[in-house]
Amino acid sequence: MIVNGREREHRDGLTLHALLEELKIDRGKVAVMRGDDVWKRGSIPDVPLAKADVIEIVTMMQGG
């Protein structure tokens, strides 16, 4: 599994919410892309992850 360009060990039963928890990432402050799927903050589902998944996690920033 690749997360933000880095290889990460995958284990059976790993879900997207569990991955974000392990990385200490607040689901309400990020957008997540998995393949062709894109989820905005607050709408990230708890889907199972596969060994071949490529995940991008983008932190939302305020500014102008």
Q: Which residues pair with 48 in a beta bridge?
A: 15
* Position 64 in a domain: no
User: Is residue 64 over pLDDT 60?
Assistant: no
- Please write the tens of the pLDDT for every residue from 15-61: 999 999 999 999 989 999 999 999 998 899 999 999 999 999 998 76
pLDDT band at 62 (very low <50, low <70, confident <90, very high): low
Higher pLDDT, 64 or 62: 62
Under DSSP, is residue 47 helix (H, G, I), strand (E, B) or coil?
coil
- Domain extent at residue 48: 2-59
Joined tokens for residue 16: 């997207």
Enter the pTM of the model.
Answer: 0.86
How far is Cα 7 from Cα 30, in angstroms, rounded to an integer?
Answer: 20
Q: How many domains does the chain have?
A: 1
* Position 35 in a domain: yes
Residues in contact with 3: Cβ distance below 8 Å, sequence separation at least 6, in sequence order:
19, 23, 55, 56, 57
